[in-house]
Chains A and B, each alone.
Chain A
Amino acid sequence: MKRIAFYLFYDNDGIVDDYVVHKLSALKDFVERIVFISNSPLSVESEEKIKPVSSDVIIRKNIGFDVWAYKEALQWFGDELNNFDEALFLNYTFYAPIFPFSELFAWSERDDIDFWGITDHKEVIPNPFTGAGVLPRHIQSHFIAVKHSLFKTEIFKKYWANMPNIESYEDSILQHESRFTDYFSRHGFKYDVYCNSSLYSSDYPAFININETIIHRCPILKRRPFFHDPLWIDRNAIDLQETLNLVNAGSSYDINLIYRNLLRTTKPKDLATNISLLKIFDSFDAPKTRKDIKIAVIAHVYYPDMISEILTQIENIPNSYDLYITTASKESQMLIKEFLTKSDGHFSNFQVRVVEENRGRDISALLITCRDIVLDYDYELICRLHSKKSPQNNPNQALHFKKQMYNNLVGSRNYVSKLINFIDSDENIGFVSPPMVHIGYPTLGHAWFTNKPGAKKIASRLNINVPFDDFAPYAAYGTMFWFRPNALKKLFEEKWHWSEFSAEPSHNDGSLAHIIERLLIYTANDCGYKCYNVMSSDMAEQNYSKLEYKMQRVMSNFSNGLVQEQVNRLQLGHAMDGTSYLSLNVKLVRVLKYHLASNYPNLSAKLRNPYKKCVRIYTWIQRKIK
């Protein structure tokens, strides 16, 4: 069978990831001609990448969404299309082939159908996009195959010729995705779906029953679940970690193709939540670690009296390691050197360096004073620690913070062995840090504090293009962590100057040190490395009980336990913020609406229609006046 494929591509940064190349080269075995249509400009590198796997490359302006991209390509081809038996319309929004395309095409080679797809969406009443009518059952537009029997017809040509302008995502669904199937099946054309929604419980199996579809050897895996709103994923109990496990175990698809794309394009915290990037280790037994791992420990010890405590913790590392200490003064250096010479630690070498200037705390000490260690000494793994005293907090809080750092990074010999084995088992894990501290610290949901604008600036200076988390960064709060030098390369290659860091004592939020603290994971994600939070089982017991209670307590003050619904409501109330751009009238109406909706559900249901009518009249009058 002679096939032609129209492949739609879009990427914000114009980068073609390997998963696209992989998908197209797999497709090439079954498709004569692949037309690569990009709705975004492509980088030179990307264009080179795409050439071997596609016959034509069309780069167009991002107008009319996917629909107009197909329309234009079809126009461009004209009657040449008739040389083919089947035309495929597919796009970049999925990973494939999870299972060989041969299975799919073997199934599709039958005469009783005129068009087919891989997945479909069940009928929805009322149509969620319009609020009325029916959203008919439809083959999803990420993959639609049309046989000659259909595309040779006038109806098919008319469908595209009459396609109106597409101005929004909703338009593209209403005018094309949800319309296509219904339109042609009404005209008597037959279709079938490979991964049929009638076999599944949800409306949208490729999204909601994603794991079942994999078990049933569906060849595609949607990208969207991985970067979709975690609250929605939560509400539908979609287990994406399991999805990746299933792909890893059951198919030959290289899972790193998925990771590399997601790490670059997804908000780090959303990704970490959706695929559960948290590992909890017990300390029951001590597994063996690889003997020849080159490990360095870089510790900033500002207070020399704390060297003994920190060394006891570091000594939990089962392997031999090189120890680098930075400190603030010559005297401290002397004291620490003396201590280390006498100590019976199992480090192979040690070095004590003095920072040139006392600004930027542990961050500048790491980025400037220890730059060469990270860049030139080819260590496989580096453990970053510092002596934490936090004189600004009460001692209990400081103690807990320290526990959260040390116990979760270098807690015990057994624990560290497991941690090292975990990082060692996957070369794509580039960074591990303890979860954000929340006991005693009002961090959760607000941890950007005032550092977001500054962070954006520095990120663009370092050419870090990972999208930023909205409300709270996925950050190594406390700047202690394990990392692979390559994961933070971008950060270390930058020539930082002492003068950029705030001089003491103005070590406040918004300073460069605080910004870099929040950029560490972004840097690693940008370099294609996975970042995990790690925790010991003891700390998990504590952190979980406290966190659950806080959440329960907060939620108990809302009308129900549906987090997404409550977040939306709070967002409405948020309009009352002084910073909001809305006019006072609008604000007042919103608050009234919110109040009615939450306190008088029956009344508000009755008022909804009259209200809408009033709004319509109001806007009509406004227009007339103008």
Chain B
Amino acid sequence: MKLQRKGYDMSCNRIAFYLFYDEYGIVDDYILYKLEQLKKSVKTIFVVSNSDLDKKNRRKLETVADVVYCRENMGFDVWAYKEALELYGYERLNNYDELILMNYTFFGPIYPFEEMFDWSETKSVDFWGISDHKAIVPNPYTGEGELPRHIQSHFIAVRSNMFNSLEFKTYWETMPMITSYDKSVLMHESRFTNYFNSKGFEYDVYCNSTDYESHYPTFVDIKETLIKSRSPILKRRLFFHDPLFLDANCVDLKSTMNYIENNTSYDVNLIWDNILRSTEPRVLLTNAEHHKVFPDIQENAFSGEVKIAVIAHVYYPEMLLELEEKIDNIPVEFDLYITTASEESQKWLIEHLSVKRCNKVEVRIVEENRGRDISSLMITCKDVILTGNYDLILRIHSKKSSLSRKNNANYYKNHIYDNLLNSQGYVSNLLSFLENNRRVGICVPDLVHYGYPTLGHAWFSNKQKAKEIARMLDIKIKFDENTPHAAYGTMFWFRPEALRKLFLHEWKWADFEVEPCDADGTLADVIERLIVYTALDSGFLCYNISNLDSISKTYVKLEYKYQKIMSKLSDADVLHQCYNLDKNSDEIHSRDNEIQLLKLQHYKHITSLSWKLTAPLRRARRIITETLKR
């Protein structure tokens, strides 16, 4: 495709070097879309992949790229560009007027790239970029000197007089090996602009930081950059960056996403496809604010064109009445499946059951009393989910308060029931929300923290086992560090497709622990924590849902606890308070994170005083065991 502009044809004269990296080597559609759109203005696209590719993904890239070059992940983006330029050959670049170095770290084009290229053609500069970062003193990477103002390396365009210059070649030839993220910023990203500018090459920026107050407008003033500068890019990092940073800077990602969805032609599903796979669920929940509060009054009448099933595990038949009352709040017709523990309860339930708007009732008996409500769902009701007869399913069960801490158990139960089925109006609002947001695959009540020490620790002892089960089910979600985004209490609304992976597995009764079993770390506890992960892994969004009363109560209690804790720390700047205590997840480092952590733990262990003091004992034991063997 050729674009005729201002009497001359620029589209033929650009070449783009596109850096690709993905932990699993998966090429998401946002990359293809971006490259397809780019192709309208660029003649040749050279893709350098810093990650391994399988055949399928390579093919995918090859549909839009002219060259695909897959290399070892060495030297970060800098060496990828360096190698690609060298392989392609500087002399062959002579055929082009403009050279673009760009990468995978942003979604786009939110607005057509042509707008931006049109703008660039009016500028007689030697190089340009989409966005830049203001100068910072002192340089945060070195602690001294200045981090100069620089065009960000996710998109730099260089005109022929510059890339044909000796300086350009020297720049790349003398580039040292890059061994860390910091070094890549110091040696390339923050150096490039100043290096060439000080040698007589002029530059300009499309979305210029001088128009904004913050240092990094495309990260901090995102919505403004879209409206004011019509910036064509949205950084990926916004979704998985430390929420404390976003919080400190009041970055409003949610309203930006709403803006993109309602005012531009960019398909936000491209974003979710990639982000769901690569972001810790709780970080995503916080940054994108996937929390909905529904009132009890109905905004619009619910159309009702939806097939609903309710799957209830009623272990305690005496709780039937309470459950029925709640289930009656579903405003449309549905099928009801009940599982229970014994034949007597089955008989009793069939006799006493009276639910409004219920088409069909089936009462099943679980074969074995193990795995609580989880096994009854996974095994006894497997067919209900897998047949594909339903659009939406509500999972609920009779949650009995154990005698100790009755208040707490009661509160927990009400928290869940009320946030799933508060009133007819509430459920109508919830159903219309799900109707209008097909991407949302599961809705869960928010984490209960009133009366439960869950905050920051809700993995309890289930994380290791959850990782094993996730591997078994091929769930590749990034695991939350401290508290998984999960359906605590295992009651939730879901689309059957969202949890298919979980139900396709042949669970056996023997997999579950025999009752009574109060310990943490059972398979049931682990699956409880994997339900949301499964939905996210299947490409669905998960929303927390609350009613007005519940959210106001939990908000007050949460705020108080937070205030109390923070009042004992030197100030309320959480970012600063957490800074020394935990590490930020960084996509580039993430592969090594776990190994590093283990190494660090091991190191701490062997250098600890107690370990050193007990060293003679160990030596003695070793000598004894060795002599005994002999």
Contacts and interface: CB of A to CB of B under 8 A. Distances in A.
A544 B453 contact: no
A553 B243 CA distance: 10
Contact of B555 (A230, A239, A544, A552): A544
Contact of A550 (B247, B292, B453, B548): B247
A284 B446 CA distance: 22
Contacts of B551: 280, 537, 540, 544
Interface in A158-201: 201
Contacts of B220: 394, 396
A505 interface: no
Interface in B287-310: 289-295, 297-299
Contact of A567 (B282, B289, B404, B565): B565
A553 B578 contact: yes
Interface stretch (A69-77, A342-350, A436-444): A436-444
B247 A546 contact: yes
Interface stretch (A49-57, A78-86, A271-279, A456-464): A271-279
B457 interface: yes
Interface of B: 213-214, 220-221, 243-244, 247-252, 254, 282-283, 285-286, 289-295, 297-299, 403-408, 410-412, 446-447, 449-458, 481-483, 544, 546, 548, 551-569, 571-574, 577-578, 581-582
Those 7 A-B pairs whose CB atoms lie nearest each other, nearest first = A445-B566, A555-B456, A237-B451, A471-B567, A561-B453, A282-B295, A556-B456
Nearest to B299: A284
19 contacts: A201-B406, A236-B407, A239-B407, A239-B411, A282-B297, A394-B214, A395-B213, A440-B250, A444-B562, A446-B566, A537-B293, A541-B291, A545-B285, A548-B446, A549-B282, A553-B578, A553-B582, A560-B457, A563-B453
A397 interface: yes
B572 A272 contact: no
A269 B552 contact: no
Nearest to A275: B556
Given A209-B406, A435-B555, A544-B446, A558 B456 contact: yes
B608 to A, nearest CB: 10
A428 interface: no
Contacts of A553: 243-244, 456, 482, 574, 578, 582
Contacts of B283: 549
Given A285-B297, A400-B252, A547-B558, A552 B451 contact: no
Contacts of B291: 541, 544-545
Interface in A551-589: 551-558, 560-563, 566-567, 570-571, 573-574
Contacts of B289: 541-542, 545-546
Contacts of B572: 442-446
Specify which of A444, A538, A542, A570 lies most central, judged by the most chain B CB atoms within 10 Å of its CB: A444
Given A236-B408, A544-B555, A444 B566 contact: yes
Contact of B297 (A280, A284, A548, A570): A284
Contacts of A272: 556
A140 B391 CA distance: 57
Contacts of A235: 451
Given A545-B290, A547-B562, A573-B568, 8 more contacts: A237-B410, A276-B557, A278-B555, A444-B566, A470-B567, A544-B446, A546-B247, A567-B568
B552 A201 contact: no
A550 to B, nearest CB: 5
A238 interface: yes
A444 B297 contact: no
Contacts of B244: 549-550, 553
A231 interface: yes
Given A201-B403, A236-B408, A445-B564, A397 B250 contact: yes
A231 B561 contact: yes
Nearest to A561: B453
A103 interface: no
A567 B582 CA distance: 20
A234 B451 contact: yes
Given A237-B451, A544-B551, A276 B556 contact: yes
Nearest to B243: A549
A269 B561 CA distance: 12
Given A237-B451, A553-B456, A555-B565, A547 B555 contact: yes
B496 to A, nearest CB: 27
Given A442-B573, A552-B482, A563-B565, A396 B456 contact: no
Contacts of B299: 284-285
A548 B213 contact: no
A554 B456 contact: yes
Given A445-B562, A556-B482, A546 B286 contact: yes
A461 B407 CA distance: 43
Contact of A280 (B251, B252, B293): B293
A354 interface: no
B557 A234 contact: yes
A543 interface: yes
Contacts of B221: 395-396
A563 B564 contact: yes
A241 B449 CA distance: 17
Nearest to A235: B451
B287 to A, nearest CB: 9
A13 B493 CA distance: 54
Interface residues of A, number: 77
Nearest to A546: B247
Contact of A442 (B481, B561, B574, B578): B574
A297 B364 CA distance: 63
Contacts of B582: 553, 556-557
B577 A273 contact: no
A550 B455 CA distance: 10
Given A234-B557, A440-B247, A541-B291, A554 B564 contact: no
Contacts of B292: 541
A278 B481 CA distance: 31
Contacts of A533: 556
Residue of A239, A399, A551, A574 with most chain B CB atoms under a 10 A cut-off: A551
A284 B547 CA distance: 13
A397 B251 CA distance: 9
B559 A435 contact: yes
Contact of A238 (B407, B456, B552): B407
Contact of A554 (B406, B556, B562): B562
A30 B581 CA distance: 63
A202 interface: yes
A567 B577 CA distance: 15
B247 A280 contact: no
A281 interface: yes
A208 interface: yes
Nearest to B456: A555
Interface in A447-503: 470-472
Contacts of B556: 272-273, 276-278, 533
Nearest to A562: B453
Contacts of B553: 241, 276, 278
Contact of A237 (B249, B408, B546, B573): B408
Given A209-B407, A440-B247, A543 B569 contact: no
A537 B297 CA distance: 13
A563 B561 contact: yes
A209 B455 CA distance: 24
B457 to A, nearest CB: 4
Contacts of B453: 560-563
A551 B406 contact: no
Given A234-B561, A442-B574, A400 B250 contact: yes
Contacts of A396: 214, 220-221, 249-252
A547 to B, nearest CB: 6
Contacts of A400: 250, 252
A462 B75 CA distance: 68
A278 B566 contact: no
A549 B578 CA distance: 12
A239 B555 CA distance: 14
